[in-house]
Structure 1
């Protein structure tokens, strides 16, 4: 990790406040996009059920989510750059190649390592924004510092609550945390369909009804307290005026800036 961090820090700001843009040239590409989003929605359903299970510690729910996300990024890296994705990404950062494969490998690899750090670094906020446009979709990933606003849901883990508590207080803390996790599970059940609505099935939905869509998912942890936002977000129809031929990195759009400003406070981008 140190070698990768040194490479990123010594390079330019190419990964900062950027998004991946992927073309959607045909229905097959749309089907693949739809299937990937349905997997994300299914992961949200799974998280909701785990949060509602009193026999599953919140630490296990958190680790399960992070492990699934890391596996997803590793899969994307292998799809984009093959088994030698690390060499491809570092070559791009070192200026030895300048192509979309190297750019995406560097972007995804940085996110992969940042997710690994989240087991021990708990003050970072993970920001995911996926937007559908007529000819493409964008994936905006950011790691930020700051605080959540009034939106979303907050829940706590009794495992992380410190202090010298007597038995009665421990039982009360555990009950309070269980209740907060139940409310979080309820929140996810009510909001996870925004993912499905953002990317409907291209085989059953007319093109005019699936040209635009999007959602934002923000998660963070401060000690024993976890926070989460999952909601729909509309793309800016004037953002792009071209039809991309290959994937690539683009500047984050006005939608991402607006979401960070409205949903978070004092947010600063780490990457």
Structure 2
């Protein structure tokens, strides 16, 4: 299989699929909580950077991308060890058929596609993480379409305003800074939904943490950026049985509903 064929195969790894991870014990519950807390902390850092007029929007997104890269590389190392690339490509080449290879291929594809993310206009990063009584799922894909009125929109003076007069460019810069401040305020109000969905298992009764989740959508069309971060309720009837081992599962009805709710003319790019 050549590299282009492997990329096409990798894209199929993400298309309408999700990772399902069992939660068999207290340690796995605590690890999930800590991982979600790190995602929330990254959102707080992004909010602070968006609100800093001395930080270009490109740097804000580079920081977010670096954090995501590290997160997926950490997952790859956890799942498959230092040889994760060989494990993932062996799975995509049909040389192995096990859950370790499947998850390594999924995470590696996420890792690669995220590196391309900010060079591609009109494409949105779509992430859904959901908690069920005995497991959690991670659903990542890349979508095209128009985001509805939910969420927040903001602009980057670095990416636009090239044909404006000096005075208009100053106004455009001020407007862009204000829109980024509005985006920071939006995130300030929404980041709590991640922490609420995955509370500390050491201080929260199990009945209060059996279900939870969130959806995060972010992307840009030229100089215009958009962001949605919101709670998402898991479907209690999604799975028939308990999760015995990690693996890939079809995306759930929750993700499908979120795509229809937040987008018009949505299409799956990857």
**Which interval holds the TM-score relative to the shorter structure?**
over 0.9
**Partner of 1:176 in structure 2?**
175
Q: What TM-score results when the alignment is normalised by the length of structure 1? A: 0.96
Gaps of 5+ in 1: none
**Kept in 2: contact 1:8–1:93 (CA 8 A):** no
How far the C-alpha of 1:66 sits from its partner, in A, is 0.8
**Partner of 1:246 in structure 2?**
245
Q: What TM-score results when the alignment is normalised by the length of structure 2? A: 0.97
Q: Note the 1:1-271 alignment, pairs <5 A.
A: 4-9=3-8, 13-271=12-270
Residue 213 and residue 11 in structure 1: after superposition, are their counterparts in 2 closer, same or farther (change >3 A)?
Answer: closer
Residue 10 and residue 240 in structure 1: after superposition, are their counterparts in 2 closer, same or farther (change >3 A)?
Answer: closer
**Kept in 2: contact 1:124–1:143 (CA 8 A):** yes
Root mean square deviation of aligned Cα: 1.5
**Aligned-partner Cα distance in 2 for 1:52–1:165:** 24
| 1:153-183 Cα shifts (integer Å, max 9, x gaps) | 0000001114322221111001000000000
**Kept in 1: contact 2:13–2:105 (CA 8 A):** no
Residue 153 and residue 220 in structure 1: after superposition, are their counterparts in 2 closer, same or farther (change >3 A)?
Answer: same
Q: Give runs of ≥4 in structure 1 deviating > 3 Å.
A: 2-5, 10-15
Gaps of 5+ in 2: none
Q: Give secondary structure in 1 for the equivalent of 2:118.
A: coil
**Aligned-partner Cα distance in 2 for 1:164–1:15:** 39
How far the C-alpha of 1:215 sits from its partner, in A, is 0.4
| 1:240-263 Cα shifts (integer Å, max 9, x gaps) | 121112110000000000000011
Residue 12 and residue 218 in structure 1: after superposition, are their counterparts in 2 closer, same or farther (change >3 A)?
Answer: closer
User: What count of residue pairs does the alignment treat as equivalent?
Assistant: 270
Deviates more, 1:123-132 or 1:158-167: 158-167
**Aligned-partner Cα distance in 1 for 2:261–2:110:** 23
**Aligned-partner Cα distance in 2 for 1:245–1:185:** 40
Q: Give secondary structure in 1 for the equivalent of 2:128.
A: strand
**Aligned-partner Cα distance in 2 for 1:200–1:182:** 28
Residue 37 and residue 4 in structure 1: after superposition, are their counterparts in 2 closer, same or farther (change >3 A)?
Answer: farther
**Aligned-partner Cα distance in 2 for 1:4–1:245:** 33
**Aligned-partner Cα distance in 2 for 1:60–1:69:** 14
**Kept in 2: contact 1:7–1:93 (CA 8 A):** yes
